[in-house]
Structures are given as C-alpha cells and as structure tokens.
Amino acid sequence: MNTVGQPADRPDGPLKVCGTARYAGDFRLPGMAEAVLVQSTLPRGRILRIDRAGALDMPGVAAVMTHLDAPRLPSKGRAAKDRVLSLLQDDRVAYNGQPIAVVVADTRDQAVAAAREMVVEYRAETPMLDFEAARRSAYPPESVQGKEPDSERGDPAAGRRGAASYLRAVYSTPAEYHNPMEPHATVAAWENGRLTLYDSTQQVSGARKVVAATLGLDEDRVRVICPFVGGGFGGKGSVWSHVVLAAMAARELGRPVRLVLDRTQMYGPVGNRPAIEQTLELAARSDGALRMVGHDVLAETSTLEDWDESSALVTRMLYACDNLWTTHRLLRLDIGTPTFQRAPGESTGTYALESAMDELAWELNMDPIALRLRNHADVDPERGLPFSSKSLRECYRVGAERFGWAARDPRPRSMRRGGLLSGMGMATATYPAHRSRASARARLMPDGTALVQSGSQDLGTGTYAAMTQVAADALGLPLSQVRFELGDTELPKAPISGGSQTVASVAPAVRAAGLDIRRQLIELAIGDPRSPAHGVPAGQVRVEDGRIGRRGHAGGETVQALLARHGGRMLEANADVAPGDERKRYSMHGFGAVFAHVLVDPDLGEVRVPRIVGVYGVGRLVNEKTAINQLAGGIVWGLGMALTEAALRDPHDGRCVNGDLAQYHVPVNADVGGIEVLAVPEDDPHVNPLGAKGIGEIGITGVAAAIANAVHHATGRRVRALPITPDKLL
C-alpha cells in the first residue's frame, strides 16, 4: 500500500469549503412543502383538545396533522427492536417536548407562524422528574450493550479485607446533548408508492429498515439518501419521530415535505446522554495492587423505553483485579429517551474509574502512572483472552515524556504560574474495536478511472478520504483516478457509522473489491500477447500508479491501454466481508493516555486548560490527517464534558431550560488551548485485514478525568460532580 496511512486531503473538502456540499436539508424538490413540529408543553398527561382552526386559517398552510387524523400505522408505529416513536397515534404525552402535531405550509416561516396559533388543552398527570425520588424504584435493565447488567468475579469481600487502603466515592455526570452543527433534517417524497428520504442519518440502511417496518412497507420500496452528515455523535444513529412524521405528511399531501428541527427542538425528542450517578469502591495493597474493585451505575431513562448506559463495562476489563463486581440500574423519569452519545458508557465510565484511581494514588502516596502500571492488564481480565494488540504501556511512556510529567510536584496546590494555581492530571483512555459485515462494489472504467461504492456514511470524519485511499492502493491507481460514493441505500449495504466501526468494517470490503479488480487486470495482462506482463506468473505482475507490468522492470503500460485492447471493457467486482471468529480468540480494544494541564484562578474559580497531550495505540491509521482530527475533536468534547456541558431541566415541567447554544455551553475557540495528539506504532494482524481500530470515540474517553485530576492537583479540591464550574471551587 502506498497511500494508506498518508495525510491525504479530503476529496469532499472543496465542496464543504465552497458551500456546495448538499446536506439533507439542502435538497429542494419541485412542489416541496415545509413542515414543523408542534411539541407538548407538559411532561405527562393526555391531550384533551387541539384547536387547529387558527393555524389552518394562516396563509400558505396546507395541513395540520394531529393524533385525531394522522394515518393509523401498523403496531401503532412501533418498529420491532427500535426506538419508541411519537407518531400521533394516541393522545398520550410522555415528556415535555414530545411531538404532538405537524404543521405543513408552503414556506417554513408560514409553518412556524401557524404552529404558534395552535391551542392545546391537556389533562395533566403528576410527573416523575426527580432523580433522587425515582432511585427508590431503580431496576436492572435486561442487558447492557448485549451483556449482563451485573458481573462479579472472585471474592470482593475477601479482597477488601486483605487491603491496606480503601476508597469509596460517588461521581455524577449530568444529562448532555449532542448539538451537531447540522440539526436533524428530513426530506420525504413519494412516487408510485415508493418513498425516498433525504435524511441526516448515521445509518442509511438502518433507517430504511426502520421506516419501512414502521409504515408497513417492503424495504425495497424505501430509499434513503445521505451524502453528507454535519455531525452525528450517536444522536443520528437512531430513527426519530420527525423522520417518519415527514414521510406521513408527504404521503397525505401528495407532495414532497421537508422537516428540519430548529436548535431548541434538539433538546428532548432526539435523545441525549442521560444523567448518571456512579459509585466506585477500590481496595489496594500498600504497593498499589488492586485487591477489590466495585462499580455501581445508576442512570436515568424514559418511561417509553429502557436506555442502558454501559458505564461499568470499561471497569470490567481495564485493570487487573481478581475480585470485582459491577452493577447497572435504571430509573424512569418523564423525559425524552436517552441515546448514544460519543463513547456512550466509556466516556462516563472512564471519568468515574479514572478519577477514583487518582484518588487511590493520592491515598497511597503513589504516582498515578505508577499505580496504573502496577495494575496493567496483560490479558483481558473479564474474558481471560489475550488482547489483539495493546500499546498502553508505550502510551503512558510517550505521553509522560511529551507532557513533561516528571516536572510535576505531586503535592496539591504546590505549583503556580503567575498568580494562578497550576495542576497536572492524567487518565487512561480506551474504547472497544468494533467491526460488522459490510459490502462494496468497484468498477474500473475504460478510461482507467475507478468508481468504488458502499452504502456507508460520512459524518464529517473523513470516510470519503479513507475509503478512496484504501481503494486506490488495492486497485493500484493514483488517488486522482479513484472516486468513492456512499450514503445511498441503492449502494452495497454497510453498517451504522457508530461504535467507531466504519473504517474497520467498510475498508476491508472496499479493499477486497479493489483486489478483485486487480486480479482481473493481472489475468488480462498475462493472457495478452501485447502486454509487458504476458506470460508472467501472477505474483510477478505489478499494478502500480495506474500502470501494469513486470515486477523489477521499469515502465509497463497504462491500465487504460490494456482495457482498450480488450474492447474498452469495464471491470466490476463486488465484495461482502464479515468478521470471522477472531473475537472468540482475542479481546479487541484501542487504548491511550491523556495528560492535562490546568490553570485555576484561586479567587474566581475559573479553570483554563492551556495544554492537553493525548497518546493512542489504535492500530494502523488509514489517514493520518483525519485520524488526528478525530482524536483532537474527541478531546475538545471531553473538555466540554469536564468544564461546561450540562442540561438544566425545570424540576416542575421537565423542559430543558438551557436548550440552545447560547445557554448550553460547548467549548469554543477561546476555551481550547494547545492539543497534541500522537499515535504510537501498533501492528494488529487480528482486528481486521487493515489492522485499523476505530478512533472516532476513544478521543473523549479519559479526558474529563484527566482534567478533574489536574484540578484536584491544582486546588486540593476533588470535584466529583461534573461539570467543574467556578462555584464548586470557591
């Protein structure tokens, strides 16, 4: 391979820079109408009356769809094994912000104005909105990411008895929201009983399946198109109510309908990270060896369905300890259902676990890195399997050296810069290496260019670039002669772009299709008397930079010339690639180490983070530039998790009162200091044919803990409830 691993530019970059990349809401179809959601204003109850006369009298209004006249759907609109949607099938209100009507008009302004004229009367019921009150009825979910909610190994009680040091601490994280630059958007159009959706989604194939099942259609009657996603982060990994409502409205009107959520509507009906409370118990010998680990997780969910936040799964595998237990419990509140949010489980789980490890290091008067090295797991302690690869020790070493950890005075409040308190903290990062079945198609055109296709998605992560590189190397063509297409259910099927699995899943299929084309080319050349590779053993034929010839010999001929002599034919190959049994033989994870430097104003409690160093062992980087970009982006999100992000709900009506970007604080340029990202060389022949691990989610893990640990070092104050705001330090 020649281009894989290089920092190649994004082929879609010019489109985005010039504003010509078309996202879901950018599609405009002839006769298209605009729809907006009307949302409930109470958290629990029933709709007694909806007066829509005022809305229908407004200029340009084409329809107002409510539970009184919405088309009846199979199983009341519930697609098996997917989210419970609000599709106007009854008068029940389950949370504040639930869609209860759709207004459709000629323009969006007209639809928004008409929606304001809707008058709704409710019969209110007493809601449950208090986390503390609901904890009395907490219960275990059926499973947590496909695993048992609870686990135990060894004898935790005996482990604690034999320990020299014991720590018990409770850590909490608030509800958080995704806030991608592009809001959720759907354009729905029907023609001859077939539905086309232009949707901002992380899974075009999954969206087709869910929408078809919800509407009672065969899957082949639904097409989903999504060439670009302006950020997903897990929030666009599910089909939400607005997608199906747009399709319902378009079918009823007989014209295309576009439904774009405004920013405030992103808080409630499209999921979020739930509020979580985690209790950690650690017991260790005087040399730091863990004798007992306990991790209890309590997370909120909705009354509509269970959403399991898998925060303790990371504890089961990260450190070597013979005596361990973990539990997961849910409590039901009258809120919108939570969902995946960048590194769901691992981001919150590493915050609690890595904060507790730092506290234990302090109790033991031990360096935090030394404590982690003392408990380094050489094999997966949960499954008893070797890791497919693990470079965590090297991440600690390189990170400490680049960060300057040796200059750290371990005493809290011992370091200053100017008049500010200075602190250094670190934490471990980790995320599983996922992979799923994926398909791809490659076509080599008579002019020597190639078109490679897979029904994957690009969430802004660089999928176009990475797949073009993989295809170019497999085909033996320069990047300029390869075009990659994705984001359409008419293309070969690919999995959801979630769980950091797109490269690990789709790239092997792209590579296999490209290698098949290469094989066909070699066979043509060997059998062609006019080819410089005629009669040469296949292993001695090279296809490189668009030319084919004999290995060790200069020159050769262009692929285009070879194809021209054979009637200008097009070569095509299809590949369907799936994981084997390697997961039964190896535990597969990416690992890293995060180091943070903070400065804290002792009078104002303001925290600044001038520098973060993240070092990762994530297999082979397909594109160095986009990989570093993704890891740095995760670090920025971890900065927000640590210091600024929190959804504030009204305790009386359940509505998110800071539901916009003016009041829900995400890090901006002024908040982000220097970020240095490094990847240590790592060869993993087991994880997939390219040896690449997912990197989209590991970047956020460990960051909040590293910052919290640095704040403790700077101030002597241990903040266990995120975000770390000035009031908690004063």
- CATH number for 247: 3.30.365.10
**Mean pLDDT within 602-608:** 98
Helix/strand/coil percentages in the chain, nearest 5: 30, 25, 45
Strand blocks (E) in 578-693: 589-600, 607-617, 674-679
Residue 69 has pLDDT above 90, yes or no: yes
Position 555 scores a pLDDT of: 86
Angle at 174 between CA 171 and CA 175, to 5 degrees: 145
Quick one: 423 and 451 in the same domain?
no
Quick check: 673 pLDDT over 90? yes
Task: Answer for the pair 336, 155: CB distance below 8 angstroms, yes or no.
Answer: no
CB of 613 within 8 A of CB of 703?
no
Judged on CB neighbours under 10 Å (0-12, 13-18, 19+), 246 is buried
Residue 11, preceding peptide bond in cis (omega within 30° of 0): no
Same domain, 396 and 486: no
| DSSP letter, residue 75 | G
Structure tokens at 92: 């029940």
Rounded distance between C-alpha atoms, residue 126 and residue 124, angstroms: 7
Inside any domain, residue 152: no
Would you call 359 a catalytic residue per the annotation? no
Range list of H helices, 116-260 = 131-134, 156-161, 204-215, 241-253
Does residue 496 sit in the same domain as residue 515? yes
CA angle 697, 699, 704 (to 5 degrees): 110
Given this model, what pLDDT does residue 369 score? 98
Q: Are residues 213 and 358 in the same domain?
A: no
Residue 328, SS3 per DSSP: strand
Q: Quick: pLDDT tens for 440-488.
A: 999 999 999 999 999 999 999 999 999 999 999 999 999 999 999 999 9
What is the number of structural domains in the chain? 3
Q: Is the pLDDT of residue 79 over 70?
A: no
Task: Please give the mean pLDDT across all residues of the chain.
Answer: 97
Is 10 within the bounds of a domain? no
Beta strands at 194-199 and 222-225: parallel, antiparallel or unpaired? parallel
- For 248-290, what is each residue's pLDDT tens digit? 999 999 999 999 999 999 999 999 999 999 999 999 999 999 9
Across residues 437-442, what is the average pLDDT?
Answer: 98
Q: In which element (H, E) is residue 483 found?
A: strand 482-485
**Identity of the residue numbered 183:** P
The pLDDT of residue 76 is 74
Q: How far apart are CA 217 and CA 208, in angstroms?
A: 10
Per-residue pLDDT reduced to its tens digit, 350-409? 999 999 999 999 999 999 999 999 999 999 999 999 999 999 999 999 999 999 999 999
Q: For position 81, what pLDDT does the model report?
A: 66
Answer yes or no: do 641 and 687 share one domain: yes
Residue 601, number of CB atoms within 10 A of its CB: 15
Please state, for a pLDDT cut of 90, what percent of the chain lies above it. Answer: 98
What is the distance between the alpha carbons of residues 684 and 619, in angstroms, rounded to a whole number?
6
- If we measure between CA atoms, which residue out of 355, 225, 333 comes closest to residue 272? 333
**pLDDT by residue (tens digit) across 82-126?**
789 999 999 999 999 999 999 999 999 999 999 999 999 999 999
Q: Which residue matches tokens 């629990």?
A: 44
Tokens of 287: 């040399």
388 and 505 assigned to the same domain: no
Q: Are residues 571 and 481 in the same domain?
A: yes
Is the domain of 441 the same as that of 430?
A: no
Do 457 and 571 lie in a common domain? Answer: yes
222 and 117 in a single domain? The answer is yes
Please give the residue range of the domain that contains residue 415: 340-434+586-728
Q: Supply the pLDDT for residue 329.
A: 98
Closest CA to 489 of 270, 185, 194, 182: 194
Size (the chain), residues: 730
Nearest alpha-carbon partner for 394 in 608, 680, 626, 176: 680
How is 337-360 classified by DSSP, letter by letter?
A: -----SSTTHHHHHHHHHHHHHHH
* 579 touches 435 (CB < 8 A): yes
Helix (H) or strand (E) holding 551: none
The answer to whether residue 390 is domain-embedded is yes
Residue 80 has pLDDT above 70, yes or no: no
